[in-house]
């Protein structure tokens, strides 16, 4: 994982911030410039740039430089790694929810008087 300001960033620490999650949501639609993200987030450019640097340090975004503009896109490989890590946890929850559904199906539809 790349460093930002000399500090290694844990991907979940980076994802904990709501602004960074919102940036990733915006990037789901495709590549955006910093200016487009600033407009969508309605916040100052230095603030957005700080968040983008942290997302880049966690390898969650890719940067394409086009003259004076920087274009950001999702880093699909990194997101697949996270998805693979989360898969066993989703299975646990799916099993537990299936058990809950089975239990609820055994309960009477209406309370007895």
pLDDT tens digits, 73-102: 999 888 888 888 888 888 888 888 888 888
Cα end-to-end span (Å), the chain: 61
Confidence of residue 4 (pLDDT cuts 50, 70, 90): very low
| Whole-prediction pTM | 0.72
Domain assignment of residue 67, yes or no: yes
DSSP states of 63-88? EEEETTEEEEEE-HHHHHHHHHHHHH
Q: What is the pLDDT of residue 7?
A: 36
* In a domain? residue 113: no
Say yes or no: 84 and 56 in one domain: no
Q: What is the pLDDT of residue 90?
A: 86
Residue 21 CB partners (closer than 8 Å, separation 6+): 15
- Give the separation between CA 64 and CA 32, rounded to whole angstroms: 10
Query: Residue 9 is part of which domain span?
Result: 3-74
* Higher per-residue pLDDT: 41 or 78: 41
Tokens 């930002």 correspond to 4
Closest-CA residue to 50 (of 81, 76, 14, 84): 14
Please give the average per-residue pLDDT across 26-39, as a whole number.
Answer: 96
Closest CA to 70 of 84, 55, 92: 55
Same domain as 88, residue 58: no
Q: Is the pLDDT score of 3 beyond 80? A: no
pLDDT at residue number 67: 92
């Amino acid at each position: 994982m790349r460093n930002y300001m000399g500090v290694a960033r844990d991907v979940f620490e980076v994802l904990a911030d709501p602004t960074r999650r919102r940036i990733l949501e915006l990037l789901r639609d495709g590549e955006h410039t910093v200016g487009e993200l600033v407009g969508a987030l309605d916040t100052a450019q230095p603030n957005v740039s700080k968040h983008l640097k942290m997302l880049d340090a966690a390898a969650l975004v890719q940067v394409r430089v086009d003259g004076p503009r920087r274009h950001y896109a999702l880093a699909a490989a990194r997101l697949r790694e996270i998805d693979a890590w989360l898969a066993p946890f989703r299975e646990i929850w799916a099993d537990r929810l299936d058990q809950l559904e089975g239990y609820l199906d055994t309960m009477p539809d209406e309370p007895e008087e």
